[in-house]
Copies of this chain bind each other. A is one copy, B any other.
Amino acid sequence: MFDPATLRYDAAGLIPCIAQEAATGEVLMLAWMNAESVARTLETGRVTYWSRSRAAFWVKGETSGHVQELVELRLDCDRDCLLALVRQTGPACHTGRRACFYTAVRDGDEVELLAPEA
């Protein structure tokens, strides 16, 4: 049996979770979960983070419609990081881009790789 309490959380009770698009392998974003977020994500199949800025549960896409349907949740060797394989509806990033990692460092400069979607 998997028990969210067996994960290793930081001093704030949080664990980082990487969201990866299951179909393409694209890394979409990283956000944080507490034990209850992990449990809710598994129960509902809707990826549910803990918003550090709002100090509240954050069902991804609840207001924007840009939901993350959980395909599979994985944990790492140290049990202190999660990887959520997801089916992302619409852009994952709050800037309207498909993924949050749209800035690359090339030859010492920042280069923008993705534009906001329509």
Contact with A72, one of B72, B94, B97, B104 (Cβ below 8 angstroms): B104
A51 at interface by CB-CB < 8 Å: no
- The count of chain A contact residues (Cβ–Cβ below 8 Å) is 36
Q: Are B16 and A27 in contact (CB under 8 A)?
A: no
List the B side residues contacting A25 at CB < 8 Å.
24-26
The CA-CA distance from A104 to B91 in the complex, in Å, is: 25
Most buried by B among A18, A93, A95, A113: A18
A109 at interface by CB-CB < 8 Å: yes
Which single residue of chain B is at the shortest CB-CB distance from A26?
Answer: B25
Q: List 29 A-B contacts (CB under 8 A).
A: A1-B108, A1-B109, A2-B108, A2-B109, A2-B110, A16-B16, A18-B18, A18-B27, A18-B30, A20-B27, A27-B27, A29-B76, A42-B108, A72-B106, A73-B105, A74-B101, A74-B102, A74-B103, A74-B104, A75-B101, A75-B103, A75-B105, A76-B100, A77-B93, A77-B95, A77-B102, A77-B103, A81-B101, A83-B101
